[in-house]
Chains A and B, each alone.
Chain A
Amino acid sequence: MITPTIKDDRYKQVEKTMKKLSYDRSALIETLHTAQETFGYLENDTLKFVAKRLKLPFSKVYGVATFYNYFRLKPKGKHTCVVCTGTACYVKGSQEILQVIEKRFSIKAGETSEDKMLSLLTARCVGSCSLAPVVIYDDKTQGKLTLEELQKTIEELIQ
């Protein structure tokens, strides 16, 4: 088993969460959240580190990480664009928005463009239904979008 170098300060953050929850096996999901927040995504070495510290089989940690939509096993692009595909956004045309972006960058939802500039993600519902249709660029929410506004914002984003 690979032991990651604990010298990396980021592992300390992950360690802190596990310690707070007394290294109990129920701490797994909280730990993965911290790990993703610190590293940006969950790579195999990180998962192995968590498995070892919580005394869990790697298969278990991998199983949990892949079960939940929120966890990413691949790095994100420089920018992210999350299209909400909830019911209210659907009624207001989120499918078209998705298609426009997919076409513009030749990627499918869940993928990152070849130049690593943009990751396109979908969300089940971000709970801002009154602003439908909603897109979140990096961490900024934009609602009541028209297709023109969308294209403009995206071009600005990847500049």
Chain B
Amino acid sequence: MIESREELEELANKKRCTLQNSAEEIRICTGSSCTSLGSTLLHKELTKDFKLKKLDAKCTIKSVGCSGLCSEAIMVSHFDKEKKQETLYANIAADDGEKFYLYEENSTLLESKKIDTTTHFFSKQHKIVLENAGKIDPNDIEDYIAHDGYSAFFKALEDFTPSELIQEIKQSGLRGRGGGGYPTGLKWETVSKVESTQKYIICNGDEGDPGAFMDRAIMEADPHRILEGMLIAGYGCGASKGYIYVRAEYPVAVQKLQKAIKQCKKLGILGQNIALSGFSFDIEVRLGGGAFVCGEATALIHSIEGNRGNPRQKPPHLSDDGLFGQPTILNNVETFANIAPIVKNGALWFANIGTKTSTGTKVFALSGNIKNTGLVEVAMGISLEELIYDIGGGVSGTQKLKAIQTGGPSGGCIPASMMDVLVDYDSLKKVGSIMGSGGLIVMDESVSMLEVAHFFMDFCQSESCGKCVPCRVGTVELRDLLDKFIAKTATKEDFELLKSLCEVVKESSLCGLGQSAPNPVLSTLHYFEEEYLQGIQDD
């Protein structure tokens, strides 16, 4: 049991010593992409081999979370602890015997798999949320503690009163990373001021946007970071219970989080009267059921309560009437992952990263027709051009870039001519898209914008919960209209109807799903109108 900051530091130092027992480390990525190519098998085999060859005293085999470059899976890295030098190797197969070469020096085969880490893909990134990803073993709480884990929580407990803590978060300028961009400190302050015997902290891990996998990677690579963020939120707002709502489609993330919670309870970091401070906090994992609408705050809460995930009218807001009718804070996975570094390094440090109104960094999941698919973390205010070309390596294949889609079914398409747009909440909104949770899909000229709009409308139509008419009926009508344009049988009236129906659905739907459902149509209408006009039948 850890009862003070000193004891935490003691444990950290002890673990740091153990980590120094071996001079080297081989880190194998066990994120979803690498796992699906057999990285867990590779980990098992290597561990066995190294033991047999008595190499394990010199070099430890470690399973780590996603290091980002998923297109080159399986990723393996070799870390020299003394020189603090990490060498990355890509495209390692699970069973092709390269595991032996991996460790032998001067192997040409190994050399060919080496990745140049001086490229922009690495140098232009700014890692805060993902700083531990690919470095620590997500299954080992001591590894997290040795990397300053939970020191921010203990600092908060001992150095800050709850209201000072909230001021700190407010000053940092952190905004919700789920896409809305609501100031996190303000959200916490509202709940902290409400009188109630029971308050709740919820972490939204229901990453339903197709094309987004940032939250999954964070949960899998660094689950303790999320627990620490929630603990700090609990202390700041006077809540004693937290829930993490995770998609059932992410079994690895669920398992890692559950293990992390168990380890925390064992060390007394979660439970009653934590570190004799009088503060108690407990966290449970709840599984989602594959409903996109449950990413919406009120629907998510209904789902945790064991109901159908239908949203309800707001107000009342969650700060007054949330989970089980109690004041509730709901933040996204990435938001919580930002909390510990802010508390540890101070609000000013964080506020100096990014732009004035969008501070800090953002994790993006790059996919589609792009060379470097995977996870990247960049400071806010970077241009799309830098993100796509310098970091993403540009368009894959022979075609030219046509558009970039951000924000999933609630977002929009940005045409290739606007690559100088800056990546921050306000700039993206200005050009008709949204930051969203961080899915970024690159589309080349072979992709039809009408079909993309249709794809998202089809998605929204089948994910509509059916509670309110504009969304339930409107999305069907919009999709059918788009069908006509694709079949080139639309009329001029259809064109006008499409535009006005988009406005109706946007203005009159009950929740965010319906209100944002027309966005993909509106943004493609705006930038690629000629494709719609081509779908109109001649008189």
**Chain A residues packing against B (C-beta within 8 Å):** 24-30, 32-33, 63-64, 67-71, 85-88, 90-92, 123-132, 140-143
New contact pairs (19) apart from A70-B249, A123-B249, CB-CB < 8 Å? A26-B304, A32-B289, A33-B289, A64-B308, A67-B291, A67-B309, A87-B455, A91-B443, A91-B447, A92-B368, A124-B459, A125-B212, A126-B32, A127-B249, A127-B250, A128-B70, A129-B211, A129-B365, A131-B33
B73 within 8 A of A: yes
Question: Smallest CB-CB separation from B375: which chain A residue?
Answer: A130
B291 touches A87 (CB 8 A): no
CA distance A25 to B286 in the complex (A): 14
Alpha-carbon separation in the docked complex, A32 to B35 (Å) = 27
* CB < 8 Å neighbour of A29 from B213, B250, B306: B306
Q: Of all chain B residues, which has the CB nearest A26?
A: B306
Given contacts A67-B291, A128-B32, contact A86 B73 (CB under 8 A): no
Interface string of B311-338 (1 = CB under 8 A from A): 0000000000000100000000000000
Chain B residue contacts of A123, Cβ below 8 A: 249
Known: A29-B306, A124-B459, A130-B33. A88 touches B287 (CB 8 A): no
Query: How many positions in chain B have a CB within 8 Å of any CB in the partner chain?
Result: 51
Given A68-B290, A70-B289, A88-B441, residue A124 in contact with residue B306 (CB < 8 A): no
Distance in angstroms from A16 CB to nearest chain B CB is 15
Cβ contacts under 8 Å, A86 to chain B: 210-211
Residues of chain A contacted by B288 (CB below 8 angstroms): 68, 70
Chain A min CB distance to B93 (Å): 13
Q: Which of A71, A125, A142 contacts B210 (CB 8 A)?
A: A125
Measured between beta carbons, the chain B residues less than 8 angstroms from A71 are 289
Q: Shortest beta-carbon distance, B181 to chain A, in Å?
A: 21
Which residues on the A side are within 8 Å of B305 (C-beta)? 25-26
- Residues in chain B near residue A64, CB distance under 8 A: 306-308
Q: Establish whether residues A87 and B73, one from each chain, have CB atoms under 8 Å apart when the complex forms.
A: no
- B36 and A131 within 8 A (CB): yes
A106 to B71, CA, bound (A): 33
* Residues of A close to B465: CB separation below 8 A: 67
Q: Any chain A CB within 8 A of the CB of B367?
A: yes
Given contacts A29-B286, A124-B292, A142-B36, contact A88 B211 (CB under 8 A): yes
Query: A92 CA to B368 CA in the complex, in Å?
Result: 7
Instruction: State the Cβ distance, A44 to closest chain B Cβ, in Å.
Output: 18
CB distance B369 to A128 under 8 Å? no
A67 to B299, CA, bound (A): 12
Kindly supply a per-residue 1/0 record for chain B positions 362-388, scoring 1 wherever the CB is within 8 Å of any chain A CB and 0 otherwise: 000101110001100000000000000
Question: Are A88 and B368 closer than 8 Å at their CB atoms?
Answer: yes
Residue of B nearest to A54 (CB): B306
**Residue B516 is within 8 A (CB to CB) of chain A in the complex:** no
* CB pair B73 A130 closer than 8 Å: yes
Q: Are A69 and B36 in contact (CB under 8 A)?
A: no
Q: Which of B441-460 contact A (CB under 8 A)?
A: 441, 443, 447, 455-456, 459
Q: Are A30 and B286 in contact (CB under 8 A)?
A: yes
Residues of B within 8 Å of A24, CB to CB, are 306
A-B contact count (CB 8 A): 130
Could you say which of A86, A87, A124 has the most chain B C-beta atoms within 10 Å of its C-beta?
A87
Q: Is the CB of A129 within 8 A of B289?
A: no
- Which residues of B are in contact with A by a Cβ distance under 8 Å? 32-33, 35-37, 70-71, 73, 207-213, 216, 248-250, 286-292, 303-309, 324, 365, 367-369, 373-374, 405, 408, 439, 441, 443, 447, 455-456, 459, 463, 465
A-B contact pairs, 9 of them (CB 8 A): A26-B306, A69-B290, A87-B455, A87-B456, A91-B443, A125-B209, A127-B249, A128-B70, A128-B213
Q: Report the Cα distance A89→B250, complex, angstroms.
A: 18
Contact indicator A129/B290 (Cβ below 8 Å)? no
Beta-carbon contact of A128 and B36 below 8 Å: yes
Contacts of A63 in B (CB 8 A): 308
Point out the residues of chain A lying under 8 angstroms from B324, CB to CB. Answer: 26
Which of B211, B286, B303 sits near A125, CB closer than 8 Å? B211
Question: Contacts A29-B306, A129-B367 known; A124 to B374 CB distance under 8 Å?
Answer: no
CB-based closest 3 A-B pairs: A68-B289, A130-B70, A141-B36
Q: How far is the CB of A55 from chain B (nearest CB, A)?
A: 12
B367 adjacent to A70 (CB under 8 Å): no
The residue in A26, A32, A33, A129 that gathers the most chain B C-beta atoms within 10 A of its C-beta is A129
Smallest CB–CB gap between B528 and chain A, Å?
16
Distance (whole angstroms) from the CB of B293 to the closest CB of chain A: 9
Whether B33 and A128, one on each chain, are in contact in the complex, defined by CB atoms closer than 8 angstroms, is yes
Determine whether the beta carbon of B210 is less than 8 Å from that of A87. yes
Q: How distant is the Cα of A13 from the Cα of B131 in the complex, in angstroms?
A: 39
A88 to B73, CA, bound (A): 17
- Which residues from A are CB-within-8-Å of B290? 68-70, 124
CB distance from A96 to the nearest CB of B (A): 13
Alpha-carbon gap, A6 to B307, bound state (A)? 26
Chain B residues closer than 8 Å to A131, beta-carbon distance: 33, 36, 70, 73
Closest to A82 in B: B249
- Indicate which residue in A32, A33, A130 contacts B367 across the interface (CB closer than 8 Å): A130
Q: Across the interface, do A27 and B306 meet the contact criterion of CB distance under 8 Å?
A: yes
What residue of chain B has the Cβ atom nearest to residue A87's Cβ?
B211
User: Are B248's CB and A67's CB within 8 A?
Assistant: no
User: A26 vs B305: C-alpha distance in the bound complex, in angstroms?
Assistant: 4
Residues on B with beta carbons closer than 8 Å to the beta carbon of A67: 289, 291, 308-309, 465
Given A71-B289, A91-B443, A124-B210, residue A143 in contact with residue B459 (CB < 8 A): no
With a cutoff of 8 Å between Cβ atoms, the chain A residues found around residue B369 in the complex are 91
Contacts of A87 in B (CB 8 A): 210-211, 367-368, 405, 408, 439, 441, 455-456
